Amino acid sequence: MCGKVVLVGAGPGDPGLLTWKGKKALEQADVVVYDRLVSPAVLDLIPPGVRRINVGKKAACHPVPQERINEILLEQARAGHRVVRLKGGDPFVFGRGGEELELLARSGVDFEEIPGVTSAIAAPAYAGIPVTHRDYASSLHIITGHARAGKELEIDFPALVRAGGTLVFVMGVSALPRITAGLMEAGMDGATPAALVENGTLPVQRRCVATLATLTQRSAEMEIRSPAVIVVGEVCTLSDAFCWVEKQPLHGRRILVTRPRDRAGALSEKLRDLGAEVWEYPCIETVPLVPCPDMETALGNLKAYEWLVFTSPAGVEVFGNQMRTLGWDGRNLAGIRLAALGPGTARALSILGLRTDFMPAVYDAVHLGQELPARGRVLILRAAQGSPALTETLARRTIAYDDIAVYRTVLTGPDTVLAQALEEGAVSAVTFTSASTVRGFLRAVGTRADLSRITALCIGQQTAAEARSHGLRAEVAREATPEALVELARVCCQNI
Ligand code: SAH
Q: Spell out the per-residue pLDDT of the chain, length 496, in tens.
A: 789 999 999 999 999 999 999 999 999 999 999 998 899 889 988 998 999 999 985 555 557 899 999 999 999 999 999 999 999 999 999 999 999 999 999 999 999 999 999 999 999 999 999 999 999 999 999 999 998 777 888 999 999 999 999 999 999 999 999 999 999 999 999 999 999 999 999 988 999 999 999 999 999 999 999 999 999 999 999 999 999 999 999 998 899 998 776 666 788 889 999 999 888 888 888 899 999 999 999 999 999 999 999 999 999 999 999 999 999 999 999 999 999 999 999 999 999 999 999 999 999 999 999 999 999 999 999 999 888 999 999 999 999 999 999 999 888 878 887 888 887 778 889 999 988 899 999 988 887 777 888 899 999 998 999 999 998 999 999 998 889 999 999 998 876 6
Contacts of 256 (CB under 8 A, 6+ apart): 278, 279, 281, 418, 427, 429, 430, 431, 441
Q: Which of 14, 35, 90, 364 is catalytic?
A: 35
199 lines ligand 1 (CB under 6 A): yes
CB 437 within 8 Å of CB 457: no
CA 195 from centre of chain = 28
What the chain holds in terms of domains, given with CATH numbers, is 4-116 (3.40.1010.10), 121-247 (3.30.950.10), 254-283+413-493 (3.40.50.10090), 287-411 (3.40.50.10090)
Q: For 178, phi and psi rounded to 5 degrees? A: -70, -35
Distance CA 149, CA 240 (A): 37
Q: For 75, phi and psi rounded to 5 degrees? A: -60, -45
Contacts of 353 (CB under 8 A, 6+ apart): 329, 330
227 lines ligand 1 (CB under 6 A): yes
Q: What angle do CA 144, 225, 256 make, to 5 degrees?
A: 125
Q: How far is the CA of 206 from the centre of ligand 1 (A)?
A: 14
Q: How far is the CA of 127 from the centre of ligand 1 (A)?
A: 14
The pLDDT of residue 125 is: 98
Q: How far is the CA of 89 from the centre of ligand 1 (A)?
A: 6
Contacts of 194 (CB under 8 A, 6+ apart): 180, 209, 210, 211, 212, 215, 230, 231, 232, 233, 236
| Ligand 1 nearest atom to the CA of residue 59, by list position | 13
203 lines ligand 1 (CB under 6 A): no
| Ligand 1 nearest atom to the CA of residue 146, by list position | 13
Q: How far is the CA of 250 from the centre of ligand 1 (A)?
A: 25
Q: What angle do CA 271, 276, 278 make, to 5 degrees?
A: 75
Residue of the nearest CA to atom 24 in ligand 1?
A: 228
The pLDDT of residue 426 is: 80
143 lines ligand 1 (CB under 6 A): no
| Ligand 1 nearest atom to the CA of residue 116, by list position | 7
Calculate the alpha carbon distances from 102 to 7, 107, 114, 211, 334 in Å: 12, 9, 16, 41, 64
- Strands across the sheet with 284-288, in order? 284-288, 401-411, 377-383, 305-310, 337-340
CB 91 within 8 Å of CB 113: yes
171 lines ligand 1 (CB under 6 A): yes
151 is catalytic: no
The pLDDT of residue 23 is: 97
Q: Which of 4, 23, 30, 57 is catalytic?
A: 57
Contacts of 467 (CB under 8 A, 6+ apart): 432, 438, 456, 458, 474
Q: How far is the CA of 287 from the centre of ligand 1 (A)?
A: 42
320 lines ligand 1 (CB under 6 A): no
201 lines ligand 1 (CB under 6 A): yes
Q: How far is the CA of 249 from the centre of ligand 1 (A)?
A: 26
Positive/negative CA dihedral, 21, 27, 31, 36:
positive
Distance CA 10, CA 39 (A): 8
CB 145 within 8 Å of CB 219: no
13 lines ligand 1 (CB under 6 A): yes
| Ligand 1 nearest atom to the CA of residue 117, by list position | 7
The pLDDT of residue 419 is: 82
228 lines ligand 1 (CB under 6 A): yes
Q: How far is the CA of 49 from the centre of ligand 1 (A)?
A: 28
Contacts of 218 (CB under 8 A, 6+ apart): 208, 210
Q: How far is the CA of 94 from the centre of ligand 1 (A)?
A: 9
170 lines ligand 1 (CB under 6 A): yes
10 lines ligand 1 (CB under 6 A): no
231 lines ligand 1 (CB under 6 A): no
End-to-end CA distance of the chain, in Å? 58
Whole-number CA gyration radius for the chain: 28
pTM value? 0.81
Distance CA 313, CA 328 (A): 19
| Ligand 1 nearest atom to the CA of residue 172, by list position | 15
Distance CA 436, CA 467 (A): 10
Q: How far is the CA of 126 from the centre of ligand 1 (A)?
A: 13
82-87 vs 4-9, strand pairing mode = parallel
4 is catalytic: no
| Ligand 1 nearest atom to the CA of residue 226, by list position | 13
| Ligand 1 nearest atom to the CA of residue 230, by list position | 15
